[in-house]
Amino acid sequence: MDLLVAISLGLTLTCSAETISCQATYAGMLPPGHVAAGVLLGERRSRRTAQHPLLLIAGGIAIGVLPDLDVLLPKLLSRAGIEHELDSGVHHSWITHTPVFWGWVTLTARRLAQRPRAPAWAADVAGMLATGTAVHLAQDSLANTVALLWPVRRRRYGFQLDRLPGVTDHAEYARRYPASPAAKVEALLVLAAAVTCARRLGGSA
């Protein structure tokens, strides 16, 4: 419970420090694009390790969507009876969508993987975590904006190919997103992942 309160306070301070930026949309690329990137990540990793390709692809998918699990935090806090001012529609303004945060997580994972008792697959997870979270942030900055230089600068950087400024409602964003240039890029990514996955799993069968 105390951990949830601490996280809520940290995210609230991160957002409220720059109110103007927090009013913009930070939905970014939708889950299919992140899943597709995870598939490609796992498939590429499978070429350099003895682990089964299916396991690595599944792990890549999990890592590909990992940064977006922060959208669940407001619901968890509400169910726990904890008052908060978090809006999952602006989760790209939170520390959980910054290179600094995931750099720290990756560094911790790598240190744990180097321990004598670490399982053999720990190194693969640490390596995929570094690449997968970096790709996730790159995808979101392509579709929208991300605080890439936080905490040095709070300004968000990105190409905003979603063409949906000011939309923070998830349902509305999902409805209008398919007509955007970002959606076209995402569709190509999904197609590439489907073809690559089919070929890799077919060859390993």
Domain boundaries of the chain, sorted by first residue? 2-6+28-204
pLDDT digits 0-9 by tens, 61-115: 999 999 999 888 888 888 988 888 888 878 888 889 999 999 999 999 999 999 9
For 144-154, how does the pLDDT look when each residue is reduced to its tens digit (9 = 90+)? 999 899 999 88
pTM to 2 decimal places: 0.84
Structural contact between residues 37 and 193, judged by C-beta atoms closer than 8 angstroms: yes
Please choose, from the candidates 116, 73, 71, the residue with its C-alpha nearest in 3D space to the C-alpha of residue 90.
Answer: 71
The pLDDT, as a whole number, for residue 14 is: 46
The confidence band for 177, taking pLDDT boundaries of 50, 70 and 90, is very high
Token pair belonging to 173: 């964003």
Q: With CA atoms as reference, report the closest residue to 27 among 146, 151, 148, 200.
A: 146
Asked whether the beta carbons of 82 and 8 are under 8 A apart, the reply is: yes
What is the pLDDT at residue 31? 92
Say what the pLDDT of residue 203 is: 67
Residue 155 banded pLDDT, cuts 50, 70, 90? confident
Residue-wise pLDDT tens digits, 18-59: 433 333 444 678 999 999 999 999 999 988 887 888 899 999
